[in-house]
Amino acid sequence: MEYKYEKLTDKIYVCASSDHRFGTDAFLLADFSQYRAKDKVCDLGTGCGIIPLIMQKKRPPQLTYAVDIQDGAIEQLRLGLEKSETTGIVPICADLKELWAGAPLGQLDLVTCNPPYKVNNAGFQSVITAQKIARHEILCTIDDVCAAAQKLLKFGGRLCVCNRTERLSDVIYAMKKHDIEPKRLRFVSKNADEAPWLFLLEGKKGSKPFMKVEPQLYIRSDNGFSEELQKIYDTGKE
């Protein structure tokens, strides 16, 4: 396996490969989560650990569990951590459907997940198993993610996810099924002329119904990246 180290700051590196890599949606989700320094966090399906590592750039959470079922993903995260100066990231190789021995049930402030976007057997599937797992609901579904988050979150704790717009009703249904009330929604478009292709959604465990729809986020402007996206990328740079 060939690894490449991507530099987030002078002190933080992500170990990426063809199996476990990352895109813009990871930066959007980390920013949308509004994590706090006092938070105890879990990132489900962490892959190379990009979301926990982004959170290290500025006022990192006091503790972050980075969970993935694939040994290769956790190995890449460990390699990234060895090259970086970080605090409080705990890599865990586990199935989110079962969690792990000693999991902090009912104790977390925030759970994040950039889940597989496609239902199993939908659309073209890559021949690389790791990519199939990342893109298609082969080993877990959005219902499994919400069930795991419900177990981990304390009352009032938050679950933040991103997904393709065609899955919005599935995600809302899964959250509500597991007593996580959708509270904040934001759509993401490439530009003002195109329909949204992604959404960011926050739910709160045990909360009452009331959802705020935030202004749309645009990825591009006439000069390249939009000003807001550039700020999201730059947050925490030294």
For 164, the domain range is 4-94+102-115+123-234
Q: Within its chain, how far is the Cα of 80 from the centroid?
A: 17
Q: How many domains does the chain have?
A: 1
pTM check: above 0.85:
yes
The predicted structure's pLDDT at residue 231 = 92
Q: For 134-190, how does the pLDDT look when each residue is reduced to its tens digit (9 = 90+)?
A: 443 457 899 999 999 999 999 999 999 999 999 999 999 999 999 999 999 999 999
Cα–Cα distance for residue pair 228/238, rounded to 1 Å:
18
C-alpha dist (Å) from residue 124 to 76, 121, 139, 140: 26, 8, 17, 18
> What pLDDT is recorded for position 9?
94
User: Which alpha helices (H) appear in 84-226, and where do they start and end?
Assistant: 129-135, 142-152, 168-177
CATH of the domain at 39: 3.40.50.150
141: alpha, beta or left? (left if phi > 0; alpha if psi -120 to 50)? beta
pLDDT value at position 135?
46
Q: How far apart are CA 115 and CA 43, in angstroms?
A: 10
* Predicted local distance difference test score (pLDDT) of residue 181: 98
Q: What percent of the chain has pLDDT over 90?
A: 79
First to last CA, the chain: 31
Please say if the pLDDT value at position 116 is more than 50.
yes
Where is pLDDT greater, at 48 or 123?
A: 48
Q: What pLDDT is stored for residue 132 in this prediction?
A: 45
d(CA 219, CA 50): 19
In the structure, what pLDDT confidence band is assigned to residue 119 with cuts at 50, 70 and 90? low
Mean pLDDT over residues 16-22, rounded?
Answer: 86
Q: Residue type at 26?
A: A
